[in-house]
Amino acid sequence: VEDLLEHPDDGGPLRLSGRPHDVARLVHTSGSTGAPKACAQTYAAMDAAWAARPAAWPPAVRELASRLQRYLVFGSLASQVMVEYGILTLAAGGTMVVADKPVFPDAIVEHRASASVVTVPRLYRLVAAQRAAPADLSSLRALMVSGSPVEASRLHEAREVLGPVVFHGYGQTETGMISMATPSDVPPSVGFPPDVVDVEIRDPDGVPVPAGTDGELYVRTPSQAFGYWADPAETAEVFAGGWVRTRDLGHFDEEGRLYLVGRTRDVIIVNANLHYAGPIERALAACPDIAEAYVVGAPDEDTGEAVHAFVIPRAGRTPDFGALRTMVRERLGDGCVPATITVIDEVPSGPSGKPAKRLLIPGGPA
């Protein structure tokens, strides 16, 4: 910007000075796990993106594109997810619709939307709202769910209530889309990564692991960023050797489907043993009384850290804390059992709509 200001318009013809490997734009992450970071993307990376090029669409995206007649936008088009699906909509000949009050299901009904992006908590709430007081969602053909792993049972419930409309996507601001499951794919996978996307599952030493083994996902995509703007230390941590370290955990099955299980940094260390929050949250959410569950860690004098859970009950249900602890213990062991369980009405969220667990303060009912 300073260089532009130093060279005012001379009245001559415009000159194209951008080169393929120059920075074309900065796209900020959502900041759901910390301060937002500016991902630097080159002109070459933008040119390689698939969203605006129907000939490059992988099968899952091609199926999604056929349902994007009226794409309901919520949040900000500064979001990589929102703008990527927006470009896809326009390339497919659809229309982008912006709601003044993007509340589900009201906005879908009012604007006769055929598609929208939804976070996992919003999906759960929409399913609950439809069970309690069904709205006319006959126009809805696609809900693009992103942001978190989803239990297979919850995807089955969503299909039962909403119909075959859930596309479970996985991607990051740093990489763009990595994989997507269609409504007919095996839940809770996020489908098969396209041929142009490379995904490796690695152990803590960086060694690839076999199918069925959980590890950290490392990804290469044609349109990925090359680093974080003005943040060399974080860039060195995440971008290495052409790969992006996602800090997400997952595995492949024998047929090549990708499954997500949690975040590498979302951990609680109890008695020197590392426990990932994701499996604990899914164990709690498997209870019929629980609509949503979130887990954080906090210092503990006896165990170093302890697990603290926050749950949102289903309408008309009262969770049994003892039964919840037993369920977690039987599935995951004593170290994962919550020291406290707190009932909340809703989870705090950031501008992207994703849960902001860092705002949850342990110390509720035991």
Instruction: Report DSSP state, residue 359.
Output: G
**What is the rounded CA–CA span in Å between residue 120 and residue 148?**
6
- Residue 340 pairs in a beta bridge with 308
CA gyration radius, the chain:
22
Distance between CA atoms of residues 13 and 11, nearest Å: 7
Low-confidence ranges of the chain (pLDDT < 70): 1, 4, 31-34, 147, 351-353, 363-366
Provide the phi-psi class of 263: left if phi over 0, else alpha when psi is between -120 and 50, else beta: beta
Q: Which domains does the chain have, with CATH numbers?
A: 23-263 (3.40.50.12780), 268-359 (3.30.300.30)
**Amino acid at the residue 128:** A
Strand arrangement of the beta sheet that strand 166-172 belongs to: 95-98, 70-73, 115-119, 142-146, 166-172, 176-181
Cα separation, 104 vs 122, in Å, equals: 8
Which residue in this structure is represented by tokens 């499954």?
259
Tokens for 139, please give them.
Answer: 């126009």
240 φ, ψ (degrees, to nearest 5): -150, 130
What pLDDT is attached to residue 353?
67
Residue 215, token pair as written in the block: 């590890």
Alpha carbon 283 to chain centroid distance?
19
The whole-number pLDDT of residue 271 equals 84
> Largest Cα–Cα distance of the chain, in whole Å?
76
CA–CA dist 112, 90 (Å, integer): 17
Residue where the block lists tokens 């796990």: 33
- Who's near 358: CB < 8 A, 6+ residues apart? 33, 34, 296
Phi/psi at 243 (5° precision): -100, 155
